[in-house]
Chains A and B, each alone.
Chain A
Amino acid sequence: MSDSIVVDHATKNFTLRYHRTLKDITVAMSRGRAISDTFQAVDDVSFTVGQGESIGLMGLNGSGKSTLLKLIIGVMRPDSGEVLTRGRVSGLIATGAGFHPQLTGRENIFLNAAILGMTEQETKAKFDDIVEFAEVGRFLDTPVGTYSSGMYARLGFAVAIHVDSDVFLADEVLAVGDRPFKKKCLERMQEIRHSGRTVFYVSHSAGSVRKMCDRVIVLEKGRVAYDGEVDAGIRFLKYDDPGQPDLDDEIGADI
């Protein structure tokens, strides 16, 4: 099994800017206060993912999961350390990012597919599947600005899931969408996983992580707090609530 994602002592700093305008800066300087302060959103994180592995990335809000995903998809670059990936990486960091509200669903499918790296021929070949998956029906030719947030998300997810990548990332994307759609997405991600693609799945839902993943990484304040077997990882987070049915705990999990 070859390595698919290698994260080697990666650190990402963010600056907290207290002061931005000229006035603020002068006031801060004259009172001897700090103008800015940095913190590590991803702090010395290391792990290796083999091709075909399915990882559940968990942790509280603000623990650095999205930032880590941005490093892997290449939107951001680590300040120190290294992040390496093999093959095409794609997925959803935010549902429908890059949708243009004034363009129709159809136009947005083509645009979003191109943003995710699909060619025109590829998009045309998969267009019907995408439309069917998104279930937007006759709203396909209306501007997406008028879509409900669920429809918006469905369309975004439908495009992303049809990109033929080697690594598939999903960041709390199932938080919107209704129950039948969530179920369908999980099934589709299951298919992706079984086709040997690497899956990197951020979720707060113990149930869906248990179904989808064969390894859990838990982030705590930007550091890897746990990396290993799924059930132990979920126990580590104390997320396990035996009273909850599997699919339902995805719902309302990300607020």
Chain B
Amino acid sequence: MTDVETPHAASEGEPRAEVRVVDAPLRPPSDTTGLMEVFRRRYLLRLLVKREISARYQGSFLGLLWSYINPLSQFLIYYFIMQIVIGRGQFENFAVHVFCGLIVVHFFTETFNAGTRSIVRNKSLVQKMAVPREMFPVASMLVSLFHVVPQLVILVAVSLLYGYTPDPGAFAAASLALAIVMVLGTALALLFSTANVFFRDFSSAVNILTNFTRFGVPMIYPYTMVQERFGSAAEYYLWNPMANAVLLVQRGFWVGTTKDPEETARVHLPANLFELGLWSLLGSLVLLVVAQRVFSRLEQRIPERL
């Protein structure tokens, strides 16, 4: 006891052992650069994403295998219903068509839903630690993106069974589609995660909203049907970035599984699909910038409202 106390007693009244010179400017500690800050602290982001993923499969025997079983069972359900029960014979490999859409829609709704709840869910961190708060919606998006991988693996495997041969265009189309959903999902997650802090109603509303997503995209119906029913108004249908993302993934995989890919693409996809995709990406980026602006303004009142 005494020998521990001695240095204290001795140090009292003594001059400081060191003078620390801090070579930094005085600045407001709450200043962050938003999404740039998230990128700067990507090590933390990686750990948060890992935490989320490993927590989800905690205590599960099959663990990550579930992320393969889920999409596979979904595919089989659609295969059974669409191809065998309803028997849309005139439409080639309709289950693959649906599955392409399902992956995109799922990625989007997961990002949107989990992202909207992310800040409230990480309450204790947000209230007590100096972490850029954009971190949480972005992490939600990355967790959802992580779950896209097994779905893509299954999609590729199924497509190969149908005699699919990959081409560079397919790769570009799928990448563009993912980029659109990543940006759009993050933008909406940013916007609604703050809103959800003020009124928890938003997470319920978003949940309902996302239920509609699958009907607003050419997934369980082909794009040709939209064209037939709405004629020139089908152009407005393609203002929806999600519709383009789905069509791009179908361009990437489903088209390649049909007997005559060129003919399928000509009949079932808009001619300027890549152009539309790039516009969708641009639109989503603009929304992301707006979302970041709104987030920065609302964020100041987040910790006390939680």
Contact = CB atoms under 8 A, between A and B. Distances in A.
Tell me whether A and B are bound partners.
yes
Interface of A: 1-4, 6, 14-15, 51-52, 70-77, 82-89, 93-94, 97-98, 100, 102-103, 107, 110-111, 114-117, 119-120, 166, 183, 187, 190, 194-197, 211
Interface of B: 4, 7-8, 11-12, 16-22, 24-31, 41, 43-44, 47-48, 51, 54-55, 58, 124-131, 300, 303-304
B131 A115 contact: yes
Nearest to B124: A97
A37 B79 CA distance: 59
Given A98-B125, A196-B18, A119 B24 contact: no
Given A14-B304, A74-B30, A194-B11, A110 B47 contact: yes
A89 B31 CA distance: 13
A15 B303 CA distance: 12
> Which 4 pairs from chain A and chain B are nearest by CB?
A196-B20, A74-B29, A97-B128, A87-B22
A196 B24 contact: no
B27 A85 contact: yes
Contacts of B129: 73, 75, 93, 97-98, 115-116
Given A3-B26, A51-B22, 10 more contacts: A70-B303, A75-B30, A77-B30, A100-B55, A114-B47, A166-B24, A183-B4, A187-B8, A195-B18, A196-B16
23 contacts: A52-B19, A71-B29, A71-B30, A73-B29, A76-B30, A77-B30, A84-B29, A85-B28, A89-B29, A98-B124, A98-B125, A102-B54, A102-B58, A110-B47, A111-B48, A115-B125, A119-B43, A120-B43, A166-B20, A187-B8, A190-B7, A194-B18, A197-B20
A14 to B, nearest CB: 6
B63 to A, nearest CB: 13
A86 B22 contact: yes
Nearest to A73: B130
Contact of B24 (A73, A86, A120): A86
A52 B128 contact: no
A84 B17 contact: no
A159 to B, nearest CB: 12
A194 B290 CA distance: 47
Contact of B20 (A52, A85, A107): A52
Contacts of B8: 187, 190, 211
A76 B128 CA distance: 9
A100 B129 CA distance: 14
B40 to A, nearest CB: 11
Contacts of A114: 41, 43-44, 47
B29 to A, nearest CB: 3
Contact of B22 (A2, A6, A15, A194): A2
A237 B219 CA distance: 70
B29 A72 contact: yes
Nearest to A72: B29
A98 B11 contact: no
A204 to B, nearest CB: 20
A57 B275 CA distance: 61
B130 A74 contact: yes
Contact of A190 (B11, B43, B58): B11
Contact of A4 (B22, B30, B128): B22
Contact of A85 (B26, B125, B300): B26
A111 B49 CA distance: 11
A97 B41 CA distance: 19
